Amino acid sequence: METKEKFKDFVKSNPILLKHVKDGKMTWQKFYEIYDLYGEDKDAWKDYLVKENQSTVAATSSFDLASFIKGLDLDGIQNGVTSLQRVLSLLQDMSSNKNAPQTNNYKPRPIYKHFDD
């Protein structure tokens, strides 16, 4: 169990390993096996802990933003905004009706009076 906790700390200190797993190049099981055999030996991790240039990181982050924007469902967003506008107008109508004075046109008829009288 102690090795597992040390491995978690190692992964937290080297977040580049997460990129390898997300890209499908490695799995956490393989990384754990390497860690279990070699520990934090720099020679064992040199292929995975290569520091990227800042330009590569910036290009990757802008690419992620572009792919995020491409993946948006604009029709779904428009439908959501339209629904929200309807709800807000309904709430506004309800609140304005509460503030408006209510006219009472009801006049009770006398107790002993019939309809035809």
Q: Is 17 helix (H, G, I), strand (E, B) or coil?
A: helix
pLDDT of residue 87: 94
Give the residues of the chain that fall short of pLDDT 70: 1, 51-63, 97-102, 115-117
Query: Is this prediction's pTM over 0.75?
Result: no
pLDDT of residue 89: 93
What phi and psi values does residue 14 have, to the nearest 5 degrees? -130, 75
